[in-house]
Amino acid sequence: MEPPRAKVIGVARHRLATDGDGVTTLVAFHGCPLHCRYCLNPQSLGDGDRFKEYTPESLYREVRIDELYFLATNGGVTFGGGEPCLRPDFIRHFRELCSESWQINLETSLNVPVANIEALLPMVNTLIIDIKDTNPDIYRDYTGQSNTLVLENLRLIADAGRQIDCIVRIPLIPGYNTDTDRDASRATLEQLGFTRFDLFTYQIRKH
């Protein structure tokens, strides 16, 4: 059977404590289900033909050069994008290739089918979740999509007892939500047992 393939918009090495523990390599996939008004990675949308296509094997060969850093610092590979959770088969094959000592992290919006998160949870260490806002109207206004799948996947993670393995980013998005909205999002997440939050303000760049 043909191995899964994915277009990658970038591979960034030697990132320290920004995408999980230790030294990490960030692998950013092309493709995203959202169309955020001020997209932070617009290259992940639209035509992906200009980006390099990888198999799990070819990606592993490229990133394993830093294995000593991963092992020494409890680091590893962080998959971002775009939306990495659109690629569960690719990530599963990659996980089978690399050392169990590598950390595998995901930077995700969670706006993907529940089956994708069910498949990924057993093989990842940390999920860095960009929640946008839990209010469905604010979320749709900013992303162009419903957050129904996001909320279902949060409940799935909570039911699996994996809240401690999640860092939830709750941004203040100028023109879209307020501090009061952000407090409401945090309260919703705390009710589900999430405790690790990253509160910040988007630095808006209009495209």
CA dist., res. 187 & res. 183, Å (int): 6
Q: Indicate whether 38 belongs to any domain.
A: yes
Does residue 206 lie within any of the structural domains? no
Reported as a single tens digit per residue, the pLDDT across 34-69 is 999 988 888 899 888 899 999 999 999 999 999 999
Number of structural domains in the chain: 1
In a domain, 207, yes or no: no
pLDDT per position as a tens digit, 104-154: 999 999 999 999 999 999 999 999 999 999 999 999 999 999 999 999 999
Helix residue ranges, H only, 110-170 = 114-120, 136-143, 148-159
Residue 59's domain comprises 6-201
How far, CA to CA in Å, does 185 sit from each of 10, 190, 199?
A: 31, 9, 11
Q: Which long-range contacts (C-beta less than 8 Å, at least 24 apart) are formed by 83-86?
A: 83/29, 83/31, 83/32, 83/33, 83/34, 83/44, 83/108, 83/109, 83/111, 83/112, 84/27, 84/29, 84/108, 85/110, 85/112, 85/116, 85/117, 85/120, 86/29, 86/31, 86/32, 86/33, 86/112, 86/116
% of the chain with per-residue pLDDT over 70? 98
Backbone phi and psi for residue 137, each to the nearest 5 degrees, phi listed first: -70, -45
Is 59 inside any structural domain? yes
The CATH number of whichever domain residue 184 belongs to comes to 3.20.20.70
Q: Is residue 100 part of a domain?
A: yes
Total-model pTM: 0.94
- Confirm whether 1 is domain-assigned: no
Residue 183: inside a domain, yes or no? yes
Residue at 144 is within a domain: yes
Q: What is the per-residue pLDDT across 69-83, written as a single tens digit (0 to 9) for each?
A: 999 999 999 999 999
